[in-house]
Every structure is written in C-alpha cells, then in structure tokens.
Chains A and B, each alone.
Chain A
C-alpha cells in the first residue's frame, strides 16, 4: 500500500489552514474607473489630455462628473454633472390614472351613427339616379 505523509494514498489528507496575510497591494483597491474628488471645482480643474475622458465621484455630495477633452487643442473641455438618485427597493406597480375616462363606448356609438348615415346617403343617391333616368 502506498503512503503519503503517513496516510494511505486516497485517505483524506489533513491540510492545516494557514493564516494568510494579504499583502498591502491586495487590499481593497479604489475604483480605478472613478477618480475621487472632494469637490466639483477639483474635478473641473483636473488635467485631462486630448481625446481623453475621466469620470469623477464626489466624496462629499451625491454627484458624478465627467470631463472630456476633445482632440483639438483649441477646443474647450466638456464637463457634465450627474446626480445620484437612490431608487426604492420595493417593486412599484405602474401607476393607474384614477380619473381616466373610457371613451370606447361613445366611439363605437358614433361609428354606428356614421354607418347609418352612409347607408342613408347611398340610398338617397340611388333614388336620385332613378329620378334622373326618368327625367331624361
């Protein structure tokens, strides 16, 4: 029988849990996509190269900023500001209009009247044709 570490091969091996020390580099890294800024002014003055854009997260207010520098050296930077709005977690049903009036019945009634009028007009037109023939 083959042995491994004093235990038969195939026997569940005990692997002592090591206390793993995470090096500083593996600690939580700041989000590389957003640059944290203390204020809007800092974001506005942030250096951005031509044809580059940078996104910022305001540390003190619920705003996100974006700054885009066009490729042309003579163009000004495009700065945009977005407000973060928290949405409620509960599923909201679509709002029903309380005072909505259903006009379907009235519309159908009007169509009915229109059809009656059409028939009457057709009948009158036929009667007139008959009279004209007689007159000629």
Chain B
C-alpha cells in the first residue's frame, strides 16, 4: 500500500513537472492565483501583485533583486 502511494505521488509530481515544462506561466498563475489580466511578460507586475496580496514580503523581493546583481549568478545564468 505504501508503495502504491509512493507511485501515485511520483506520478503527480511527474505530471506537475511536465506541465511546468510545457507551460510554466500557467502553472504559476494557478498556484499563486494570478489574475488573467496580469501582464505575464513583465516580472515586476507579477511581483507587485504578489506583494499586494501578501504572498511575498518586501525583504524577499529586495533579496532576490540584489541577487540578480551578483556577478557569480550572472555568470551562471549567462553560461547556460
């Protein structure tokens, strides 16, 4: 029985992963309750919505924005 549960969980995870791979914005919209009229091409708009709804904090946003300036991370993202 435990093995079947594990298999079901693994299947669920694979489904989510596949959905994320095919249409990541749709999955994220569903998870974070993003409205349909939100401009998905503008990350700032998405972040602003998440801030307004209290799903993320200002300090988290600041940390992530600072990370973007990190040269090591920039090199990592450019390397792909």
Q: Give the residues from 39 to 69 in chain A that come closer than 8 angstroms, CB to CB, to chain B.
A: 45-50, 52, 54
> Does B58 make an interface contact (CB < 8 A)?
yes
Is chain B's interface secondary structure helix, strand, loop, or mixed overall? helix
Q: Tally chain B residues at the interface, Cβ within 8 Å.
A: 14
**A46-B44, A47-B44 given as contacts; is B69 within 8 A of A36 (CB)?**
yes
**A35-B62, A54-B62, A73-B52 given as contacts; is B57 within 8 A of A49 (CB)?**
yes
Residues of chain A within 8 A (CB-CB) of B47 are 47
A126 to chain B, nearest CB (A): 83
**A47-B51, A50-B52 given as contacts; is B66 within 8 A of A35 (CB)?**
yes
Residues of chain A within 8 A (CB-CB) of B58 are 48-49, 52, 54
Pair A48/B66 contact, Cβ less than 8 Å: no
Out of B51, B54, B69, name the residue touching A48 (CB < 8 Å). B51
- State in angstroms the CA–CA spacing of A49 and B69 once bound together: 21
Among A47, A52, A54, find the residue whose CB has the most chain B CB atoms closer than 10 A.
A47
A59 to chain B, nearest CB (A): 9
> Does B40 make an interface contact (CB < 8 A)?
no
Bitwise interface map of B from 46 to 80 toward A, beta carbon under 8 Å scored 1, else 0: 01100110100110011001100100100000000
